[in-house]
Structure formats: C-alpha cells, structure tokens
Amino acid sequence: MQQELDRERAHHDTCRAALARMVEGAAEHVVTGEDVSASGADAEVLGYRLRSRAKEMRELPQGPLFFGKLDFESGEHAGQSYRIGRLRISEEPTAPPLVVDWRAPVSRAFYQAGPDEPQGVAVRRRFGWAPGSRGDSADLTGWEDERLTTGESGPGTLLAQEIERPRVGPMRDIAATIQPDQDDLVRADLTASVCVQGAPGTGKTAVGLHRAAYLLYTHPQRIRRSGLLILGPNRTFLSYISEVLPALGETGVRQTTLPDEIARHPATGTDSARAAALKHDPRMAEVLRRALYAQVSAEAVHPLSLSDGTYTWRVSAAALTEIVAAVRREEPPYAVGRERVRGRAMRAVQLQAERRAGPQPAAWTRRLERSRAMSACLDTVWPKVRPEEVLAALLTDAEVLARAAEGLLDPSEQQALRWPRPPRSHKSARWSPADLVLLDEIAGLVEHPEGYGHIVVDEAQDLSPMECRAIARRAVFGSLTVLGDLAQATTPWSARSWDTVLRHLGKPDAAVVPLTTGFRVPAAVVDLTNRLLEHLDTDVPPARSYRADGELTLRPTRDVPAATVREALTREGSVGVVAADAQVADVRAALTAAGIDPAEADRLGARVALVPASLVKGLEYDHVVAVEPAAVAEGEERGLHRLYVVLTRAVSRLDVVHARPLPF
C-alpha cells in the first residue's frame, strides 16, 4: 500500500510541475501572440483572450490536482487509466492528459458508473486528502477502490468524510462528491431549462454552480458571446459561494443579486407592506403597459410637414393616425415603435417625391427623417419617454393611475399604491426596491434588455411574479437553471407551486426535478424539520438524509444561549447563532457580556457568527444555535417557513434554545 501511495504522490508532483509550465506558457503566449495577428483588430481580440487566459491560470486556487481515478477494462477507453481533477493538466497540448477535467465526457463514468452498469470501468478510485490541503503531495493520505465489475461498490469512508467535513469559511465545490442524480442536472444541455426542487442540504446550489462551470467548459464560444449570469438572494450569500467557480477553473462569471442587476437608481425609499405586495403583483405588468402606451396619441391633430428647401411635403393627420394605429397593433417595443412611425411617415413622403420628381438620394431621405419637423411630429404622436417619468406620474397622479388600473385594481389598491408625499419630479424621487422592479418592467417595454445565454437563479421560490418577469426578459433566447425549495419560501409573494414561477419566468415547459436526499443536514435534524414540514402550506416531499450522524438538542430555558455557544466552541467547526431579527441586538449584548464576540453574518470563516433569521438562507454552519423558534415564526405570514430555513442550516449539530413552546 505504501508503494502505491508513493506512486500516486509522485504522479501528483509530476502534475504540479506540468501545471507550473502551463501557467508559464500562458504568459509567454501573450508576448508571442502579438506577432501573429493579421490586423490591429485581430491583435486586440487575440491579446485580450490570451491575457484573460494567463490571468485565469495565475489565479487558480491552490489545492489537490486530482481527487479520483478510473481504470477502464472495456469499451472505447479499454486499458486506459485517467485521473480526474478540477481542470485538465498535460505536459504538452497534444500529449495524453495527466489529469482529465471533471467535466470531460470520459469523466462522467466517475459519477455514473456502478455495479449494475459499470460503463467499462473496472476500478473507480477516490483519493483522500488532508483537510485544507493546498496541494502538497504529502497531504495525499490514502485512497479507496471500488471494483465495479466484481460488484465491490459502495460510498466508502472517504466520500462520507468529504461530505461531512466541517464547514468553515466560504462554500466549497463538490466536484469530488457529485451524485448521479446531481450529475444528470449538471450535464443537462445548454438549451434545456431545468428547475431543481431541492430539500435542505441536497446540494441544489452546488448543482447550479457546477452546471454553470460545465456549460462554460462545454460551450465556451456560445457562452462568451451570450454571457452567463448567477443570481443569488443577497450579497452575503454571494460572498459565501464566491470561491466555488474559481476553484473549478472558471473566473470572471457575473454573480449578483436581482436588485443589483436591474437597479437604475439606489433603493432609498420604502413601501408599506401592502404597497410592496401590490407592486410585485403580476397585474402591475398590464397597468404599466397601459400607462406607457397612454403617451401615444390615438389621433394626430396636425399633419406632418417636411420642407427640403424647394418644396414642402405633407402627410395628412388622417394618414399619420393610421400609421400610428398600425404600429400599435404590431406591439413592438416602445422605442422601436417610435422609429417605425418615423420610417413609415418618411416612406409616405418618399412616395410623393418619387411621383413628382423621381427617386431621391439617400442623403435627402436622411436629412428629412432627422429634421426638427419630423422630431416635433413624433414628440406629439409617439413621444420619447423615460421609465422614471412614467412611473412617477402613475404613483403621483390619481387620474393617471385610475385610467391605467381600470378593471385591474380597485380604488383601495390604487390608494395604497400612490405615494403619500409625492416628490417634486421624478428626478427627486426616492425609489423603493419594489419601484426598481417596476422601472425595469417599463424599461423592458421601451426597449428589450441585453439577454444572457444562461442564467442560474438561486432561492427562486422567493421571487415575485414581477421579479420573474425581469429575469424572463433577460433569458428570452437563453435557458435557465432554477434552484429553490418551496418549503423555504418566506416572502409574502412567494408562489405555492413551481408551475406558477416557471410561467412567469417564461419557461413553462421546464422540467421540475426533485432532490430529496440531503448530504449536508444530518438525519437527526431532518427528522425534526420533517415534522415542521407537515405544517407548511406547500406540496414538498419529506427529505431524507444520507448521513446517520448528527446531534439534536432541545433546551427549554430562559437563559440567553451563552453556555450553549461555549459548549459548541469545544467542538470543531463553525458556530452560527440564529435569532429572530428583532432579538439579534439583545442576543449580541448577552453574548458580549459573557465574553463571546460574535461576527456579523457576512464575515465568512468566523468561528462564531450571529445571524438574523432573515439572512441565514443559503448559509450553513457545523453547529447552529437556534434561539427561540416561536419568535422566529411569529409576526409574518410565512413565519413557519422562515423557521424551517433556520432549523436546516446545521451541518453536524443543532441546539434549539427556547423558553416558549415550540410552534410545531
């Protein structure tokens, strides 16, 4: 066994040296590439690509270069052995790889092969590395072999240890532990939109990120042209997942929140609960469309008169009215409609000129269609607008809102929408987060936004219909990976079914795939949260845990959980103290008085973090101390859903500290 371990360590040293040469070679290509371009433009494009590649190679995180190995005995790869890692490593571009990228087609057998269907694999080997290894060969501690053709297959201790390893710091990749059902989702075709209904700890976020990495590897040119976007629920969550894609060799991917993606202004205003719910209501889409197109004149009052210096050409008011009506019936984007009116009015003038004096030169046409008289006419029948002007008028003027909302919103709803203290103009308005969603809707009606080839949407169960529409506008010609858990839906506008969410996202035919086996949350915690799941108004199957370990302790006490936190600190791993938002200040004061200085939620890697219940979604800690579940559950429509989120953040141990009866 020691001889085999030495051989694998030696191979890792060879891989490390080859990777160093690959990094050096990428830097050299930046210099030599300047002399092989056919033109300045070619040189600029080539230089950008080479510099980007060199930068990516330099920024690769340190760590073990392979985590698995496949020995094939039959099929296309009979007699070959391949080590599987996070990126391809070779001594020469044309030489057989020392390490095969986990996304390569041949690597799929590492995740999918089994005794029933070995796929030509005789032996699948998993390597064990010391926790936190930066890639020193001495950190290779052992391996486990599964002999698939003889039926010797099972998860093994190394796989279990990797899954159960303490969670400290940012989220890590799961390339070494992807399960077959996860792999199917990761490798779904670029054109396919999929929705993953994932119970807590099933790895749905990791699946989405690995799917992004897979698409970047498999379709680099298409993704480079069309773009790939990762949307998370908040910036704390984005910090938590920020290192996953770089660890997989992918840098420069846009990862943001939907508010940051659509923001035209800072969100400095606030809404009442009712106003916010109404602004996220799908009926607002039609209200906004009506308000925008109310700017267009139903009937032209004056004819169009254009002078070329020698003759004045006219388009009658009736003809102009018909042009506008015809364009309205075509329902183009508002800005496109204005240009169509311009073009058709100009065509009417051209026809007159051709009958009188024959075809006119292009310069004559351009001069007239961009003339002040033409612009003034357009400003009357189809004026330019800013989304801010439209929305400010709608939320300020009762008559404007009444006309746009007729038959859609009742008078009390209209009253709730209007600003109690209107600004002097749209320029001084303080826009709320919900207003920014409405502004994006109007902007999308004026002109279609630039889209993406693929968008990964995490925690999608909390999206409102109007937020879904904002994403749909950016994925008209692309696909979506939608991730979420209806049981963790905590916003007032959360949907009860994925059918509703997918319809608003513009992908009603997307397949909904459930993941029910948890790899993060221990069985003891899952049993508890399944009891809570029965009280939630949602059709979600109970979860089951891959892990038989874990500890659950219910502590009925009025004491602030300082003693519980001290006890947790005697164990390995991170500690998350989670409390209702209103109780966070009191809990912090009590912990500080006891000599414990908890970090904020966004300080990743802290030993102890104090997290408001509203921000804990998507995060995970080895030991969670849940403070007063009844306080978390009360005070909001979906309080039990919020509590479900809190109780499912524990990776190893959960302490529930409560003086009041548990709400389930």
On the question of pLDDT at 60 being above 70, the answer is no
DSSP codes, 402-422: HHHHTTTS-HHHHHHHS-SS-
Least confident of 105-119, 235-249, 389-403, 471-485: 235-249
**How far apart are the C-alpha atoms of 485 and 198, rounded to whole Å?**
5
pLDDT reported for residue 97: 95
pLDDT at 48 over 60: no
DSSP state, 579? Answer: E
pLDDT in tens, 605-658: 789 999 999 999 888 899 999 999 999 999 777 899 999 999 999 989 999 999
49, pLDDT greater than 60? no
Percent of the chain's residues with pLDDT above 70: 92
Residue 47 or residue 515, greater confidence:
515
What pLDDT was estimated at residue 32?
52
Most confident of 132-136, 200-204, 503-507, 527-531: 503-507
Does residue 592 carry a pLDDT above 70?
A: yes
Q: Write the DSSP string, 295-338.
A: TS-SS-SS-EEEE-SS-EEEE-HHHHHHHHHHHHHH---HHHHH
Quote the CA–CA distance of 251 and 246 in Å, as a whole number. Answer: 5
Q: Does residue 45 have a pLDDT over 50? A: no
pLDDT, tens only, 537-547: 888 888 888 88
Backbone angles phi, psi at 230, to 5 degrees: -110, 120
| Distance of alpha carbon 514 from alpha carbon 566, whole angstroms | 38
Q: What are phi and psi of 528, to 5 degrees?
A: -70, -50
Instruction: State pLDDT tens for residues 479-498.
Output: 999 999 999 999 999 988 99
pLDDT of residue 53: 54
Cα separation, 508 vs 500, in Å, equals 8
- What percent of the chain has pLDDT above 90? 71
Mean pLDDT, the chain, integer: 90
Full strand arrangement of the beta sheet holding 479-484: 254-257, 228-232, 454-457, 479-484, 194-198, 511-515
Residue with the bigger pLDDT between 26 and 571: it is 571
Residue 201: other Cβ atoms inside 10 A: 26
How does pLDDT run across 101-120, given as a tens digit for each residue? 999 999 999 999 999 899 99
454-473 tens-digit pLDDT: 999 999 999 999 999 999 99
Confidence check: pLDDT of 165 > 90: no
Reported as a single tens digit per residue, the pLDDT across 400-452 is: 999 999 999 999 999 999 999 889 889 999 999 999 999 999 999 999 999 99
pLDDT tens-place string over residues 320-366 = 999 999 999 999 999 999 999 999 999 999 999 999 888 999 999 99
